[in-house]
Structure 1
Amino acid sequence: MTFSEKFDWLMGLTGTPNSLLARVIEQDPSYISRLRHGKRGIPKHADFLEGAAAFFVEQCTTEYRKKALLEMAGEHDPAAFDAPEQLARKLARWLMAEIPDRPDPVGLLLNDMSGMSGKKMPAKQPSRTAQGDMLVFYGEEGRRQAAAALLALALQQDGPATLMLYSDESKDWQHEVSPFSYEWAGALWQIILRGGRIRVIHKISQDLDEMLGVVRLWLPFYASGAVEPYYYPKLRDGVYKRTLSVVAGVGAAFSTSIGQQSGGVPTFLTTERMAVDSFTNEFTSYLSLCCPLVHIHAQGTPRYAQALQDYVGRGASSILQTDCLPLVTAPEDMLEALYARTPAAEREPFRRFCGEYRQRAAQHVNEHDLFHLLRLESPESIRGGKVLFSCLNLPAGTPPLAYTPRWYAEHLRNTLQMLEDCAKYHICILREEPAGYTVRAFEGGEVFILRESPANILFRVTESTMASAFWDFLVHKRDSMARTNRRQTATAIRELLEQFEIPE
């Protein structure tokens, strides 16, 4: 691998935009782009690479990312992440060294399959039909082989691939943690990074844990904006089950089973064009009967702005969990400081958004109960400049704004004033580590989950079973907390204000 290939791979693995890394290592985004695309060789003065390597190590927070980084860098000890500085230095050395290409395990699997003859094979091993355009696999291991082969075919295409997935059969073979699960996830990421699209129809299960587990597995892929999740809204009898995976114009894998049948079920893989087109039409026809499972809105799109309006103004009681104080009570001079940092072209639209949002939020909390599960910051964190002001729609390119003790105290005091003035606003003080997301569930309605990143992503859950599950979760969390009345909550906030040594 060349330097640019390794550098681009790390950027893709960690989902890092050029602009974000440029800010971290104090370089120009265009320079980062040239490094990624091989238009610049290994830098002669590459001290900044250690900073970049440290950033990449820090971004590897999931097991898949950690395992992939360790394998690529030639490190075999998972405990290496316990010494991040040492690991970063090793990663920087790996970046600087030109090494030969490593074989792709998915590609190796496909090569093994392509060399198979048409003779009879043992059970659970792939066999090929006489026509040469169909492979047959058996059992759960066969499902893995078929999936790996289909994804490898997708990655062999010159352009972006369109992947269509549906299954109401058991997916234990896919979801259990194993080397295959890492390879499967890595192949999906490669498809996404190459501009591909994935449409997946999820099974809505009566087993809520199973359904949420599937969504949790897919959540990182949802965040890419390249995955469209759907579900079939009507009941099915669960007798005749089917799995269908299609790479448009390339290949299709499919299987069928009855009830709880699992062992020995054959999975077929075909690359015959008419068959692939037929399966594509089958998937598209079924998709037309489905509904979006999770609406995914990226910041900067019209649907994101509309979703934020619904997020703040739906006509129902709600429970809100945040790591930060509400925008509606933010001090005016702090907002003005934030506006001044905003790129000139975005300043007035952003100012207008904040004004409309604050007005709608104030109106809503006067009409509907809002239970706010709120985490408060310590004076030490504020004085250290470690706490950034959080905003739902901060324009790209706006430098982050850290709280000063005066700003945070004033923001907290305004929130206390709203608690005392508004009978429908309730605060439950969270005493836990930051969650890293904002979630708001409306009674009998939708759920909004905001994940802050270089560009915010808003997940909007409309499927009733999932929405009810989120609502029940937040109700249980609210009710299991130490119950305090409004006066006790107000007293706790005043005691925190006193620690800032700023008189009320």
Structure 2
Amino acid sequence: MQFWEMLDFLMKTTQTSNRMLAQELKVDPSLISRLRTGDRNRPRQLEQLKSMSSYFAKRCSCSVQRQAIADKLNVKASLTAQPELLTEILYTWLCEQDILTRNTKLLPAELKKATGVGSLSPTHAKNKLYYGNAGKRTAAALFFNTALTIAPSAVVYLYSDESDAWIQEADPHSADNRDWLAALIEKGCQLVHIAPPTLPAEMAYQSLTRWLNAYATGKIKAYYYPGLRDQVHRRTLFIIPGKLVLSSHSIAHRTDSCVTILATDEPLIQTYMTEFHDYLSLCRPLLHNHESPDSQIRLFTHFFSSQGNRIQKTPALSMNTAPSALTEYCTQILEQNGHKKISRYFAQAIQLMRACRNEELIDLGYLAQPEDVLAGQVTVTLACGPIFLPVTYTVSLYLAHLKNILNLLEQVENYHFVPLNRSQRSDYTFMVEEDQHAIILQNKKTPNVIELVERQRILLCWEYLNRTADEIGYRGSRRSDIKARLRGLIAQLEIL
């Protein structure tokens, strides 16, 4: 596509006249006219192209304009939502490789002044530097957009222990990052992820849950470094072998990013790839995925046969406290859908859970609203085997479950129920045994069971869940309040 065609497209899309663009660039309108008709070649001054890109990005104020640009440039529409990111995309498009290569006489400092992006070397003009958190978001967006164009069987390598302030400063980017990860997995790519260090407890827990849906697909090989790390230097390294690398460094106490490198130079990519593999060779598997019912039952048997206090967080009410009527109902549903073997495993898992009531159990669960129960919108926490059935409560079954929890609170001193509010809910069941084991049950369309194997991370998750329970309160007078709340909810449901 010729430059004049690009310029004409952008001016029409953004409803920009020759005079308006000329005023922005401080040039004569006749120059814009000649550029637009092809009588003049693309400007050799990178500063002018950068100014054009910035102007057009600001003029894209509606979704129709952004979608038109996304379609024309063949990029994700979400990448055009942020002006600074769209500026960089348009600038890259308007420049093309040849104009950057011809301008190798420009020094890196001049490039930085003109565009905010510096050339790493005269022979590799696509190697760029991005400054600050906004630049890092731009670089990350370009990296993942490139990743979506690679072959489905490709492997993408990911590691970062830097502050995520650069993501949190712009919420749309945080959502985009999750979309990119899901899109790569859906495409069939394999991901190799080295998890960041485990301190502090809240960060360790949130880091784990942030990746949980991706881990459950079985498409990510996750590792952790078992040795001590210094508390000063931080690093991000994303690699698409043979295609692209993103690299940055920072100091631990800083939340702003200094510089991010985005490089396509093959020798440089290979150098970073060697560095990643060197680090990976020192790491150990972070978790094990248990997909088959046989493997899951072996894990449950090991988990529930151990002696120790436990804490768990579930998206609804836990199956540990399920009444017999509910387990029989779930078994029937499984059998009716042709999963007789799965139903037997499910019954075994419930028996194992119930047999382990001598130790203390802190049970964090969500109490549904009566109207949701009546509407059949409350799903039973059921995950067993490589199938997913959206089994929902009837009013009578939910009542029976609540009464069973209340009965346990009145008769079993070492059982504690901790009600979660709506904002504290999650889509998974997280069970941790003190100092021993942690398993995570997915309750979505990929009902895998994940076994966390890093001891330090298990301890920190235990600490975080206990801290959450303590903040809500479940002992002393608070225990009486919880029982009163259960009685009130039971009374409401009984009159429906």
Instruction: Compute the TM-score of the two structures, normalised by the length of structure 1.
Output: 0.65
User: Quick check: 1:426 aligned with 2:416?
Assistant: yes
Match of residue 232 from structure 1: 225
Match of residue 272 from structure 2: 279
Match of residue 392 from structure 1: 383
CA distance in 1, matches of 2:376, 2:173: 43
After superposition, residues 279-428 of structure 1 pair within 5 angstroms as 279-293=272-286, 295=287, 297=289, 300=292, 303-310=295-302, 312-342=304-334, 347-366=339-358, 368-377=359-368, 379-393=370-384, 396=387, 398=389, 400-420=390-410, 422-428=412-418
Superimposed CA distance per residue, residues 433-456 of structure 1 (whole angstroms, 9 cap, x where no aligned partner): 671343333222344444421232
- Is 2:431–2:440's contact at 8 Å kept on the other side of the alignment? yes
SS in 2 for 1:361: helix
User: Quick check: 1:474 aligned with 2:465?
Assistant: yes
Could you tell me how far 1:317 is from its partner in structure 2? 0.1
Match of residue 245 from structure 1: 238
CA distance in 2, matches of 1:338, 1:412: 17
CA distance in 1, matches of 2:411, 2:257: 64
CA distance in 2, matches of 1:210, 1:113: 41
Superimposed CA distance per residue, residues 249-272 of structure 1 (whole angstroms, 9 cap, x where no aligned partner): 333344567887987657361432
Superimposed CA distance per residue, residues 259-299 of structure 1 (whole angstroms, 9 cap, x where no aligned partner): 87987657361432x55444333322311211334x36475
CA distance in 2, matches of 1:158, 1:328: 44
Could you tell me how far 1:223 is from its partner in structure 2? 4.9
SS in 2 for 1:116: helix
CA distance in 2, matches of 1:259, 1:411: 48
CA distance in 1, matches of 2:191, 2:446: 21
CA distance in 1, matches of 2:169, 2:323: 48
SS in 1 for 2:462: helix
Q: 1:355 to 1:72 in 2, by over 3 A?
A: farther
Q: 1:451 to 1:355 in 2, by over 3 A?
A: closer
Could you tell me how far 1:127 is from its partner in structure 2? 1.0
CA distance in 1, matches of 2:449, 2:426: 13
CA distance in 2, matches of 1:496, 1:142: 51
Q: 1:74 to 1:310 in 2, by over 3 A?
A: farther
Could you tell me how far 1:415 is from its partner in structure 2? 3.9
CA distance in 2, matches of 1:330, 1:180: 40
Could you tell me how far 1:134 is from its partner in structure 2? 6.6
2:193 to 192, 197, 200: 200
User: Quick check: 1:269 aligned with 2:259?
Assistant: no
2:436 to 435, 445, 453: 445
Q: 1:180 to 1:209 in 2, by over 3 A?
A: same
Could you tell me how far 1:159 is from its partner in structure 2? 3.5
Give 1:135's aligned amino acid: N
SS in 2 for 1:364: coil
Rg: which structure is higher? 2
Match of residue 40 from structure 2: none
After superposition, residues 103-252 of structure 1 pair within 5 angstroms as 103-104=74-75, 105=79, 111=93, 112=95, 114=97, 115-117=99-101, 118=104, 119-121=106-108, 122=110, 123=112, 124-132=116-124, 135-137=127-129, 139-140=131-132, 143-144=136-137, 146-168=139-161, 172-174=165-167, 176-177=169-170, 184-204=177-197, 206-208=199-201, 214-215=207-208, 217-219=210-212, 221-238=214-231, 242-252=235-245
Could you tell me how far 1:385 is from its partner in structure 2? 3.1
Identity, in percent, stands at: 25
After superposition, residues 477-488 of structure 1 pair within 5 angstroms as 477-480=468-471, 481=473, 483-484=475-476
CA distance in 1, matches of 2:62, 2:302: 44
Give 1:288's aligned amino acid: S
Give 2:444's aligned amino acid: S
Q: 1:271 to 1:187 in 2, by over 3 A?
A: farther
Superimposed CA distance per residue, residues 443-496 of structure 1 (whole angstroms, 9 cap, x where no aligned partner): 223444444212325454444454334323332343342644778766765565
**Structure 1, unaligned stretches of length 5 or more?**
1-70, 77-93
CA distance in 1, matches of 2:237, 2:400: 56
Give 1:371's aligned amino acid: I
Could you tell me how far 1:195 is from its partner in structure 2? 0.9
Of 404-413 and 173-182, more deviation after overlay is shown by 173-182
- Is 1:142–1:267's contact at 8 Å kept on the other side of the alignment? no
CA distance in 1, matches of 2:234, 2:374: 59
Q: 1:310 to 1:177 in 2, by over 3 A?
A: farther
Q: 1:361 to 1:184 in 2, by over 3 A?
A: closer
SS in 1 for 2:357: helix
- RMSD value over aligned CA atoms? 4.3
Give 1:120's aligned amino acid: L
SS in 2 for 1:365: coil
Task: Give the aligned length.
Answer: 408
CA distance in 2, matches of 1:403, 1:225: 30
CA distance in 2, matches of 1:448, 1:379: 30
Instruction: Compute the TM-score of the two structures, normalised by the length of structure 2.
Output: 0.66
Could you tell me how far 1:325 is from its partner in structure 2? 3.6
CA distance in 2, matches of 1:381, 1:198: 38
- Is 2:334–2:340's contact at 8 Å kept on the other side of the alignment? no
Could you tell me how far 1:132 is from its partner in structure 2? 3.1
CA distance in 2, matches of 1:198, 1:276: 17
